[in-house]
Amino acid sequence: MNKTLSLSIFALFLSVFLISCIKDTDFDQAENIALTPIVELDLIYFNIQANQFFDSINSNPILTVRDTTEIRFLDDTGLQESLKRAEFYFKFTNSIPRSFQVDFQFLSETNDTTYVAGTSVAEGAPATPVITEFIENVEGESIVEITKANKVVVSVTIPSSDENLEGTLNLKSKTTYFLEY
């Protein structure tokens, strides 16, 4: 075998590397890659006893009870950018013979109200609790507002109350987060 032949083999081999390429692919598609997970997560829950609406020491009705919790994950920058829609689901089980107005007030770190939602809860009876379901769908501009909040104030208002009132107002709730990265 002469030198010319062996060099040509060598050249052929090198050309394999030179012609190697990437075909029929479109890397611009990377722009369109989107993770769109849908996450189900518990939110808050409570059991309010009927006697919490009456101050037995001073014999006065308490028409509104309030509680507040931080929900610091909500104004996280990552969530602000990726949350497209949030669907809040509240399920009340009421065995108190009164209807209720329940309000959810979302507050920012500086205590500015960014979003409010509320519903009335149907009157129940100690023996036959009544279920009220409430869905609050948040999307579009409202998402921007609600993700500025990092706490929520829950207010439960009863039209009237007395010391003999019995029963429990139960809440279970969850949120479905529609994300897009």
Partner 1 sequence: MRNFLTITLSLWGFIAVSQNKQILYGFDAVPQSLMLNPGSEVTHKKHYGIPFLSQIHVNGGSTGVSVFDIFKEGNDNINDRITQQIFEMKNTDFFTATQQLELINFGWRAKNEIYFSGGIYQEFDFISYFPRDLAILAWEGNRDYMDYEFDLGELSTTGDFMTVYHFGINKQITDKLTVGARLKLYSSMFSYRSVNNSGTFVTTLGDEDSANIYEHTIKNADVSVETSGYASLRELDGASQVTSKILGRAFFGGNLGVGVDVGFTYRLSEAWTLSASAQDVGAIFHSKDVESYSAKGNYTLNGINLIFPPLNQGDSTFPYYDDLEDEIEREIPIDTLHNSYTQFRPVKLNAALSFGFGRFNASGDCDCLNMDGGTQHKQEVGLQFYSIFRPKGPQMAGTFFYHRRVTDYLSAKATYTVDSYSFSNVGLGVSADIGKVNFYIAADNLIKYNNLAKAKSVSLQLGFNIIIDEE
Quote the CA–CA distance of 93 and 131 in Å, as a whole number: 4
Over the window 137 to 166, marking each residue x when it contacts partner 1 by CB under 8 A and - when it does not, the resulting string is -----------------x-x----------
Q: Which stretch binds partner 1 (CB under 8 A): 46-54, 99-107, 109-117, 119-127?
A: 46-54
Quote the CA–CA distance of 116 and 106 in Å, as a whole number: 6
Residue 8 touching partner 1 (CB under 8 A): no
Q: Which is nearer to partner 1, 87 or 141 (CB)?
A: 87
Quote the CA–CA distance of 14 and 55 in Å, as a whole number: 91
Residue 130 touching partner 1 (CB under 8 A): no
User: Exactly one of 63, 72, 113, 159 binds partner 1 (CB under 8 A); which one?
Assistant: 72
Which contiguous run of DSSP H or E holds residue 153?
strand 149-157
Contacts of 137 (CB under 8 A, 6+ apart): 85, 86, 87, 88
Residue 71 touching partner 1 (CB under 8 A): yes
